[in-house]
A = this chain, B = another copy of it.
Amino acid sequence: MRLLTQLLAPKSVAHAHCDLPCGVYDPAQARIEAESIKGIDEKYAQNSDPEFRARALFIKEQRSELVKHHLWVLWTDYFKPPHFEKYPQLHQLFNDATKLAGAGGTKGSTDPAKADELLLKIDDIGKIFWETKQG
C-alpha cells in the first residue's frame, strides 16, 4: 500500500516531524520502531539467556515509547481540523495505536502478534496520512 503511494508521489518521500513546524512528517518513523519491537519479540522468544532477555525488555520499552511519541506528534502536529472532519475515526485510531504501544500492548507483552497488531494500526494511520498528502 505504502509502496503504491510512493509510486504515485513523484516528489521526495521523506516526511516528518519537528514542531517548528518544518512541514516534513512520515509515519515511517513510527513504523520503523514498531518493526524493531517485532524483531525484539522474535529474538526474545528464541533466546532464554536472562541477560539477553533483560536487555530485550528494556530496549523494547524504549522503542515502544518512541512509537507512542512519533504517533502523538502526527496526531497533534500534522493532522488539522479538516482531516478530523473527513476522517472521524482518526482520534480513536490514534488512541488505539498508542495504547497498543503501551502497557496493554507492546510494552507489556513479548508476543510478536501484539507487535503485528500495532503495525496494522500504524498502517491504517499511514493510509489516511498518504491520502491527505495527495488530496
Contacts and interface: CB of A to CB of B under 8 A. Distances in A.
A17 B68 CA distance: 14
A128 to B, nearest CB: 10
A81 to B, nearest CB: 9
Contacts of A130: 2-3, 6
Best-surrounded residue of A7, A12, A34 (most CB of chain B within 10 A): A12
Interface in A54-102: 54-59, 61-63, 65, 68, 72, 75-77, 79, 84, 91-92, 95, 98-99, 102
Interface residues on A, range: 35 or more
A11 to B, nearest CB: 8
Best-surrounded residue of A54, A68, A84 (most CB of chain B within 10 A): A54
Given A14-B34, A91-B95, 4 more contacts: A22-B36, A68-B76, A75-B98, A79-B95
A22 B43 contact: yes
A69 to B, nearest CB: 8
Interface string A90-116: 011001001100110001101000000
28 contacts: A1-B13, A2-B133, A3-B13, A3-B131, A5-B5, A5-B13, A6-B123, A12-B119, A14-B34, A14-B35, A15-B32, A17-B32, A19-B59, A19-B102, A20-B55, A20-B59, A21-B103, A22-B36, A22-B63, A23-B39, A29-B29, A29-B32, A51-B110, A55-B61, A55-B107, A75-B95, A91-B92, A91-B95
